[in-house]
Structure 1
């Protein structure tokens, strides 16, 4: 159990935005060192300082990949994702000029890491220019690799290539024009490099055209298709299982709250594609879609259930089933999810309160019975004649005040409910409404307890506030 927890903590560390953006900086630094080495010296005689500077970088990347291999659940999947990075860090004799270009093979990984973490550093840039930055890095990779390789092979035999700058310009012009421009290869190796650059230019032109077209469509229509691709690198994401009419509102609320705004959300449903028209009010940049049966273990593993932080189980209406069958699938999925990832927070929607017993046994934290909740709201509105506006504000994060459940701050331990009420109102403009306490392993919630009710270490409090309070 301790080993598994250590692996989870190490996995979260390696996939944290700070570490991944740090890797991007190291990859770009290594790329600059390679180019600087060729700019200031001869292809067959690398500078000793550059070689020594590359050693800690190579060791750092080797340690990173070794740790990723150690925590990988499926080793074959690791090699499928990181084979290019493994080649890039292979130690090669410095006298082999072409093999000195291997570090450039890590630039695609830098592109992936930037695309995945740019929204943490610059959210606006990530939304508008994330795809363009990735395409630019691919262009730089092809240009550098082609130019440096052409300079190594033909730098001494081709009269049109006198300097590394000439080779880089030749590679760039050949890339964008899809034909050799500025020189003509004299050797078989040079012809092969030119052919690779030209073919890459043809492919890149199609990709670049698609990126620009998608960007224009995004700006003109303010809509994007939901992502449906590799999910292996997701961490601390939210998994939404099933689909019904409340799903778009759930997504909208999650993306409005500051705590979950940038969390990736994976939607798993038995649909060929999501109804994009219903998601117009949702930012689809952080949405992922997987078509499959969320009660199956292999499907849950595909969407990285082991690394998810939250799971939401909706009463699924994507297929024609009875209410009892829908609840049965919700219970089965909850049992499976809690078994695969005991630390995950799970919220389930039921159609019949009688099915709640199995969910409590499975360890599901919160259960929402939609019709029951709607009935309570309607009856309260009728009894209080106009109180619906209060409920409407408290139940949405988009306007006004909301409920927040937080661990008790240390300064309030041992104080009475009334003292805590005054303190929270004065310091955070928050209204204390309930206290939650674990008694014999079971969660007990006390709404509006007596004034002299003593708060204890380990309690949770529920407050009403405009923003989530940040304890000092």
Structure 2
């Protein structure tokens, strides 16, 4: 995707949850689930049956039990527990007619309670599964990626993520039909942990369902999944950009546009990367005429199943302060990759400088949304710029990363 990478201004980060806080949160969730399914009622009923059954057994079998009153009560309660759960171990058993009646009642109660508990747990699991398949289950993951919208390029995006980070969690937030998404989930079942949230990605409620506050990255696609007209797609992308950045200012956000003239607006909304349809079409078509074969090379680089791929790699600490030529030789020897350039981190600027002072409706809307979200317009914004084929004596700095052509381990060797 083209365009200068701009990371959003860093607001104060949420306090990282401690292990204790996460444990307390999970215990509360379990408690709410138990209360909703009335499991505590069944537990109280079970305790009552054990106590009453033990007392009844002790009364019926008093002459057949040994020990003090407390020991007899302990033996009777133990008998009630094992009878309720396993129909007894045989160490204690009724010898009187009344004792056998008590045993029948306790044993039958155990079957009923076990059936109720099993049915309750099964209903919870089935309900959760249905909610997940319909895209109605809130995402609790952390550090996941979110794909907003759905179109003909969406599966290519998923394939690219699977190539770079196999097995990672990806949440798709769109209005795609759950039955259609089931086919996509099946195709990626061995490569990604795919989850669906069925909703409108311009709404904060849907974004929260997708766990956008805890996500590490997000891509907003030109949405073709709902009934929204195509000409309104860019407007929805801008709204989504504002909503996402207001919920998670640190998220890495990439957006897709139909009209390249709308790029300044999403830049002001602090999108990190922008790609507009058709922007490179003229270049590719002209190169097909003037440089035969170059189009095939570009297609090979962009294909997810290619034997090579473009990658941005962190600069090894040992190469800081070395020249680009030395780094290229070292990376070729150690990683088997070809260095094409460096990604340079530039001096930060503030968000306010990205906003124009004109009175256009979109600019004023963006500025108002920033202010409503409590985002500091004077906050620093770091930016990065690719520098391809630098001079051989270019000195690498700690803020640089490298752009390289690396092998694709999943592709078949020629």
The two structures have a TM-score, normalised by structure 1, of: 0.59
Q: In structure 2, how many angstroms separate the alpha carbons of the residues matched to 1:426 and 1:266?
A: 38
Inter-CA distance 189–446: structure 2 relative to 1 (3 Å threshold): same
- SS at 1:392's partner residue? helix
Is 1:239 the counterpart of 2:139 in the alignment?
A: no
Aligned length, in residue pairs = 332
Q: In structure 2, how many angstroms separate the alpha carbons of the residues matched to 1:2 and 1:372?
A: 30
Q: 2:85 aligns with which of 149, 165, 171?
A: 171
2:310–2:404: 8 Å Cα contact kept in structure 1? Answer: yes
Residue 391 of structure 1 corresponds to 298
Residue 70 of structure 2 corresponds to none
Residue 445 of structure 1 corresponds to 386
1:234–1:307: 8 Å Cα contact kept in structure 2? Answer: yes
Residue 271 of structure 2 corresponds to 364
Unaligned stretches of 5+ in structure 2? 1-8, 62-74, 89-99, 349-382, 410-414
Q: In structure 1, how many angstroms separate the alpha carbons of the residues matched to 2:294 and 2:104?
A: 83
Residue 92 of structure 1 corresponds to none
Shift of 1:272: 4.5
1:11-55 deviation digits (Å, cap 9, x = unpaired): xx64xxxxxxxxxxxxxxxxxxxxxxxxxxxxxxxxxxxxxxxxx
Inter-CA distance 204–307: structure 2 relative to 1 (3 Å threshold): closer
- SS at 1:372's partner residue? coil
Q: In structure 2, how many angstroms separate the alpha carbons of the residues matched to 1:293 and 1:278?
A: 21
Q: 1:265 aligns with which of 151, 165, 170?
A: 170
Q: In structure 1, how many angstroms separate the alpha carbons of the residues matched to 2:31 and 2:402?
A: 49
Q: In structure 2, how many angstroms separate the alpha carbons of the residues matched to 1:365 and 1:145?
A: 55
Find the structure with the greater CA-based Rg: 2
Q: In structure 2, how many angstroms separate the alpha carbons of the residues matched to 1:372 and 1:186?
A: 80
Shift of 1:4: 5.6
Q: 1:283 aligns with which of 176, 180, 189?
A: 189
Q: In structure 2, how many angstroms separate the alpha carbons of the residues matched to 1:376 and 1:165?
A: 84
Inter-CA distance 456–439: structure 2 relative to 1 (3 Å threshold): same
Q: In structure 2, how many angstroms separate the alpha carbons of the residues matched to 1:3 and 1:169?
A: 61
Residue 117 of structure 2 corresponds to 200
Inter-CA distance 327–146: structure 2 relative to 1 (3 Å threshold): same
Q: Which structure: greater strand fraction?
A: 2
Q: 1:330 aligns with which of 237, 242, 266?
A: 237
2:314–2:402: 8 Å Cα contact kept in structure 1? Answer: yes
Alignment of 1:417-428 (within 5 A): 417-428=324-335
Q: 1:414 aligns with which of 317, 321, 333?
A: 321
1:218-246 deviation digits (Å, cap 9, x = unpaired): xxxxxxx8463432422112111111111
Q: In structure 1, how many angstroms separate the alpha carbons of the residues matched to 2:11 and 2:385?
A: 32
Residue 246 of structure 2 corresponds to 339
1:149–1:193: 8 Å Cα contact kept in structure 2? Answer: no
Inter-CA distance 173–233: structure 2 relative to 1 (3 Å threshold): farther
1:140-176 deviation digits (Å, cap 9, x = unpaired): xx9x9999986666457549998969955753689xx
Residue 431 of structure 1 corresponds to 338
Q: In structure 2, how many angstroms separate the alpha carbons of the residues matched to 1:380 and 1:184?
A: 92
Q: In structure 2, how many angstroms separate the alpha carbons of the residues matched to 1:437 and 1:416?
A: 14
Superposition RMSD in Å? 4.2
1:185–1:191: 8 Å Cα contact kept in structure 2? Answer: no
Shift of 1:320: 4.8
Inter-CA distance 149–366: structure 2 relative to 1 (3 Å threshold): farther
Residue 56 of structure 1 corresponds to none
- SS at 1:298's partner residue? helix
2:135–2:178: 8 Å Cα contact kept in structure 1? Answer: no
Is 1:301 the counterpart of 2:242 in the alignment?
A: no
Inter-CA distance 283–198: structure 2 relative to 1 (3 Å threshold): closer
Q: In structure 2, how many angstroms separate the alpha carbons of the residues matched to 1:229 and 1:332?
A: 22
Residue 380 of structure 1 corresponds to 287
Q: 1:456 aligns with which of 397, 401, 404?
A: 397
Inter-CA distance 172–437: structure 2 relative to 1 (3 Å threshold): farther
Relative contact order, CA 8 A, sep 6+: which one is greater?
A: 2
Shift of 1:250: 1.8
Q: 2:160 aligns with which of 249, 253, 271?
A: 253
Q: In structure 2, how many angstroms separate the alpha carbons of the residues matched to 1:165 and 1:417?
A: 79
- SS at 1:288's partner residue? strand
Residue 177 of structure 1 corresponds to none
Inter-CA distance 274–202: structure 2 relative to 1 (3 Å threshold): closer
- SS at 1:295's partner residue? coil
